[in-house]
Structure 1
Amino acid sequence: MLSGSTRVTSPDPPNVLILFTDDQGYGDLSSFGHPSIETPNIDRLGQEGMRLTSFVTGSWCVPSRTQLLTGRYMPRVDFGGGTGADGTGGLPASELTLAEALNEAGYRTGMAGKWHLGYKKDRFLPPNQGFDSWLGLPYSNDYVKPWVQTEEPLGMYRGTEMVEHPINQDSLTLRYTAEARRFIREHSGGDQPFFFYLAYNMPHLPIHTAERFRGQSSAGRYGDVIETIDWSVGQILDVLEQQGVAENTIVFFASDNGPWLDLPARMLQAGNKPWHQGTTGSLRGSKATTYEGGTRVPAFVRWPEHIAAGQTSDELVASPDIYRTLLEAGAAELPDHTLDGHNLLPWLQGDRSTSPRNQYAYVLRNTLEAMRIGPWKLRVAGDTTQLFNLQSDPAERFNRAPKHPERVSRMRRAMRRMADSLGVPVAGTRSTNGGS
């Protein structure tokens, strides 16, 4: 086990609730600047806790979920193959998932929603990765014809068994919400704390919502979908209050990555429209890029009486930190392999000098393409080198590499060290005056 661990020692360890959306953009919430989508329940998490405006994660589904549930950058994890439809890979037994660690620490664990970390073998599925229960889909909701040419059925799982096929995607958010509420009611007030992970399939394309929510948002169908998620969050916060466990429950909300703006042609059929997507607000890029619009997402953390209400922080925080922090809060044992997360507990609970994270590696398609150190971000792709100061230029409009060659050199060396640690190459470049 890792030494130097700082854990909360309490006779009453906190419950843990993670709410994780799919492809929701940085600018899709009222509190992050959307002018017409209304998200009072999600925004309430920031009013009663902390809003994180510089939270970063993986640039697409699998890396972001790997970081959240293992505390490690994806290249450190040997999946042995793909994890979408027809993929034969999955999380190996050598990884200690967040659910496994909390389960071993005495937590009851449950999940609803999208998995996407392996399904072909039962050992890859959530019930064999630390979750006592699971209702959901094994991967993204577009892994079905005509968007993906596969014969694999997209079905609903209960435990390790597919129990429903085909599925009505309109009802997914409602069903996941009901599952979360049931789990919380059943496991509140007992002698064990609980951990529940709700991984929404929405607003990943093709977007769906129930009839009762259609036309309710002035932002069109996409707005209806986001406001359905907001309703879901409200329902879950309400049941925490009803069960008397809200005060001692850590609630973390984030998206897995930015919106899917640069759509492949395969997705623009069967009812999908280019405007059925979110917004990155002022940020550049989108899903599957290493610009901030692909990796910086809206995030909140609430823990009454431990995290002061009404805070906003632009300190750098990343999804591996959530893994490490929740294990510390739950007095769980840490794995004896390399973790990429930091314990945020002292910072969240009042030691506000600075977040313990000072750097972040942006890995895309098994290549280290960018790295942030402090406010500076170096990005290399193709024949361009770009240096941005994310404090003064979060939209990454102004390439400052030509004016800071020494900083570029230092950051390149840091990238090489990180790439060596991860076992991946650094993206190549041939100039220092590429596009801005």
Structure 2
Amino acid sequence: MKSHSDVAKVDKASGVAKTPKFLVSLAMLLVILSFVSTSVAAECPNIVIILADDLGYGSLNSYGANESHLRTPNIDRLAKEGRRFTDANTPSSVCSPTRYGLLTGRYDWRTDQKHGVINTTDPLHIDTSRATLASLLKSVGYRTAAIGKWHLGYGTTTHDFTKPLSPGPLDLGFDYHFAVPQNHGDASGVYVRNREVVGLRSDRTVPAGQSPYGRDYMGIDAPQRVDENVMDELTTDAIGWLQQQQEDTPFFLYFAPVAIHFPYTPSEKTKGQSGSGLYGDWIHELDLSVGRILDTLDRMKVSDDTLVIFTSDNGGVLINEGERPEAVAYRAGLRCNGALRGRKHSIYQGGFRVPFLARWPEHVPAATTCDETISLVDMYATIVALTEPPIPTDAKNAEDSFNVLPAMLGTSMPKPLRSSMIVHSPNGNFAIRRGPWKFIEGKPSPSLKKTPQRDELVAQLYNLEDDPGETNNVLNEHPEIAQQLAALLDKQRDSGRSR
């Protein structure tokens, strides 16, 4: 080991301290890395990913919703100025597994979460050693933020909201975090900023029925969210963060609105404005939020330099009987998932196929449509490829993410960008797609205590090109195709990757 006297020796002739070669080399390396990081970032667009909650395939005018039922001009602006995808899919038909997949490029069922979703007090679901979109972009000079619904847990064990919520998004590459911890109307009733509950007063619990904050949930001694104000407050926070960004530093905003998840609580600005009741009004609230984000980018004069992606975490909640807002909207004529079979939680296309719009002026062709099959898990590899030069990635990460940038940019695609794609429902039922074929395994997770939706738990095969509504199970007519797809599903699960 070198002594302190060895670290900096003095030249006797000049009296000037000499820096050892290893320190000179280290300094040069740091300068080079800094230059590379800065130069890579300088060539890259800003990135805004807007991930709506429970917005179905047929819930926008650009995807077929009639204007008599609802109007979505702000979101549809992205379709006019960018590219509309007709076969974009979520990896799961429920919330948190999709969020995990989008940020990591990895199917969530490769973790210990084989079914269901992350609960309000569950620990952080993404291992801090795993690369994320945020950590990769931060490594090349981006400023990063996660604002909106989180639904991926905090801490290392069942966490206490009165203690620092660490590890969390700040340990995954995000510089800033402001969020609803789980869902709109969740049991916490509070906001989280960075590592703390906003306005936390003490570690005491407010007894049920005695909350001075108007809600009797977990009893956290902090100001409680007002449901009708949440979308406005999340959007305002996102706008504030955007306006703080510097012109010479690119940014990545992961904005996850709580709309249109239940409860349906439109603000006074949107309540009663649609033709499909509270459900449609709540979609109007989402559209208002997106419009505010786009207007902010315009005012900042960065729209031309920003890739905006708008999509949803799973299909819509379809209910056609009773008096719930979804049923009221259905009777009014709104089909939240279009002509697709199924809904959120199901194994059918209504649970997975979602709106997907991409805008990047002069790069993504405007007012165009793409029929390429993509998954939200592909955002990782796609954004990595977007950087110039591409960010080096670890082969151990993003095991299921394919680069679908050619589909966004409208460049030549001699063959499908994805050879196959796996999806699963929250009860652990798997399906695999290859070309026009979709094979449903029909088995629940072995660890699941209850098996709802039993009608789905049978082996099925559909040709989505001939039968997009999945009305005709052709398993008996094509047993060889079902066997091939079943074997491919097993292979990709057992190998630990599909890419």
Residue pairs, 1:16-27, within 5 angstroms = 16-27=47-58
Q: With the length of structure 1 as denominator, give the TM-score of the two structures.
A: 0.86
2:174 to 131, 135, 138: 131
The answer as to whether partners of 2:41 and 2:250 remain within 8 angstroms in 1 is no
Residues of 1 paired with 2:185 and 2:279: CA distance?
16
The answer as to whether partners of 1:56 and 1:319 remain within 8 angstroms in 2 is yes
Give the equivalent residue in structure 2 for 1:171.
Answer: 229
Residue 404 of structure 1 pairs with residue 478 of structure 2: yes
1:111 to 120, 136, 146: 146
Give the equivalent residue in structure 1 for 2:186.
Answer: 143
Give the equivalent residue in structure 2 for 1:94.
Answer: 129
Residues of 1 paired with 2:169 and 2:123: CA distance?
16
Residue 73 of structure 1 pairs with residue 107 of structure 2: yes
Q: What are the superposed Cα offsets for residues 366-422 of structure 1, whole Å, 9 maximum, x if unpaired?
A: 745210001110112156322111122211111111111221121121111122134
**Cα distance, 1:78 vs structure 2:** 4.8
Residues of 1 paired with 2:464 and 2:326: CA distance?
32
Residues of 2 paired with 1:98 and 1:387: CA distance?
34
Q: What are the superposed Cα offsets for residues 72-122 of structure 1, whole Å, 9 maximum, x if unpaired?
A: 000223579973223235211222111111111110011210111112453
Give the equivalent residue in structure 2 for 1:392.
Answer: 466
Larger radius of gyration: 2
Residues of 2 paired with 1:416 and 1:76: CA distance?
13
Equivalent pairs, count: 403
Residues of 1 paired with 2:376 and 2:117: CA distance?
21
Q: What are the superposed Cα offsets for residues 282-330 of structure 1, whole Å, 9 maximum, x if unpaired?
A: 0111111221011111111111111111111121000111111112213
User: In structure 1, what residue type is equivalent to 2:182?
Assistant: Y
Residues of 2 paired with 1:82 and 1:379: CA distance?
21
Q: Closer, same or farther in 2 for the Cα pair 1:365/1:38, shift >3 Å? A: closer
Residues of 2 paired with 1:259 and 1:421: CA distance?
32
**Cα distance, 1:272 vs structure 2:** 6.7
Q: Closer, same or farther in 2 for the Cα pair 1:60/1:422, shift >3 Å? A: farther
User: In structure 2, what residue type is equivalent to 1:214?
Assistant: K
User: In structure 1, what residue type is equivalent to 2:484?
Assistant: R
Give the equivalent residue in structure 2 for 1:431.
Answer: none
The answer as to whether partners of 1:207 and 1:276 remain within 8 angstroms in 2 is no
User: In structure 2, what residue type is equivalent to 1:63?
Assistant: P
Moved more, 323-332 or 50-59: 323-332
Residue 370 of structure 1 pairs with residue 370 of structure 2: no
Residues of 1 paired with 2:80 and 2:311: CA distance?
15
Q: With the length of structure 2 as denominator, give the TM-score of the two structures.
A: 0.75
Q: CA RMSD in A?
A: 2.6
User: In structure 1, what residue type is equivalent to 2:87?
Assistant: S
**Cα distance, 1:365 vs structure 2:** 4.3
Moved more, 350-359 or 244-253: 350-359
Residue pairs, 1:8-407, within 5 angstroms = 11-35=42-66, 36-57=69-90, 58-78=92-112, 83-121=118-156, 122-144=165-187, 153-164=188-199, 165-189=223-247, 191-261=248-318, 274-275=327-328, 279-330=336-387, 331-338=390-397, 339-349=399-409, 350-365=411-426, 367=428, 369-381=430-442, 384-407=458-481
Per the alignment, in what secondary structure is the counterpart of residue 235 of structure 2?
helix
Structure 2's unaligned 5+ residue stretches are 1-38, 157-164, 200-222, 444-456
Residues of 1 paired with 2:41 and 2:417: CA distance?
23
Q: Closer, same or farther in 2 for the Cα pair 1:313/1:119, shift >3 Å? A: same
Moved more, 309-318 or 84-93: 84-93
Q: Closer, same or farther in 2 for the Cα pair 1:89/1:130, shift >3 Å? A: closer
Q: Closer, same or farther in 2 for the Cα pair 1:124/1:275, shift >3 Å? A: farther
Per the alignment, in what secondary structure is the counterpart of residue 288 of structure 2?
helix
Residues of 2 paired with 1:404 and 1:20: CA distance?
37
Residues of 2 paired with 1:279 and 1:406: CA distance?
35
The answer as to whether partners of 2:364 and 2:408 remain within 8 angstroms in 1 is yes
Q: Between the two proteins, what is the percent identity of the paired residues?
A: 36
Structure 1's unaligned 5+ residue stretches are 1-7, 145-152, 424-436
Residues of 2 paired with 1:215 and 1:272: CA distance?
12
Q: Closer, same or farther in 2 for the Cα pair 1:346/1:313, shift >3 Å? A: closer
User: In structure 1, what residue type is equivalent to 2:292?
Assistant: Q
Residues of 1 paired with 2:281 and 2:425: CA distance?
31
User: In structure 2, what residue type is equivalent to 1:420?
Assistant: D
